[in-house]
Amino acid sequence: MNPDADALAPRVYLVDDEQAVREALEFLLHSRGLVVQAYANAPELLESLAPPERLRGCFLLDVRMEPMSGLALHSELLLRGVRNPVLLMTGHGDIPMAVEALKKGAFDFLEKPYSDNTLVDRLEQALAVDAAMHDRQASGAERRARLASLTEREQEVMRCVAQGKLNKVIADELGIAVRTVEVHRARVFSKLGVRSAPEVATLLAQTAQ
């Protein structure tokens, strides 16, 4: 198993210290078309975990494990900046602990015994949530890169354009010619990939979120 190979492919990171259970879950998830990376315990996962920005997928953790429980592993993942969805597999007596984990941001918990279909459905939903999260992050990074490509003067013009100011007003405020404003405005639109002042305002609002 090489966790760095094809690390960007979405997958289920499965951690369960019972070999029979782990192998049965691997077989089930593979049979449903999911990519699975399985670990026998929490330290094994943590030792080989890719950086948070490279992780794609979700985590499926058993609550009762040695030497580190699924709840402790979830807390450690949060400390390391991992924000991928985490699902916990729990026995009846673990439910209060699982509810506490939900308050800390866990995606869901599955009470044993659970049906195969329920498990796969929740994992697919978690994978979809993770994909949406990374899409938003990628879009945000692209917006920031586009904004960073603007010169200082272009940024000044951009802010004025976003406020709906006319070229002549911008020229007066910045002490430059109207023609110069038109050139900067065209460059701003081109670099940001927009076609109108409202789109500029929207992009700035999204970046500020």
Structure confidence by residue, pLDDT tens digits, 147-205: 888 889 999 999 999 999 999 999 999 999 999 999 899 889 988 888 899 989 988 88
Region 11-137: CATH code: 3.40.50.2300
CB 182 within 8 A of CB 160: no
CB 156 within 8 A of CB 167: no
- CATH 1.10.10.10 for the 149-208 domain, yes or no: yes
Angle between helices 167-174 and 178-192 (to 10 degrees): 110
Is the pLDDT at 9 greater than 90? The verdict is: no
**Domain ranges within the chain, ordered by starting residue:** 11-137, 149-208
**168 three-state secondary structure:** helix
Amino acid letter for position 181: V
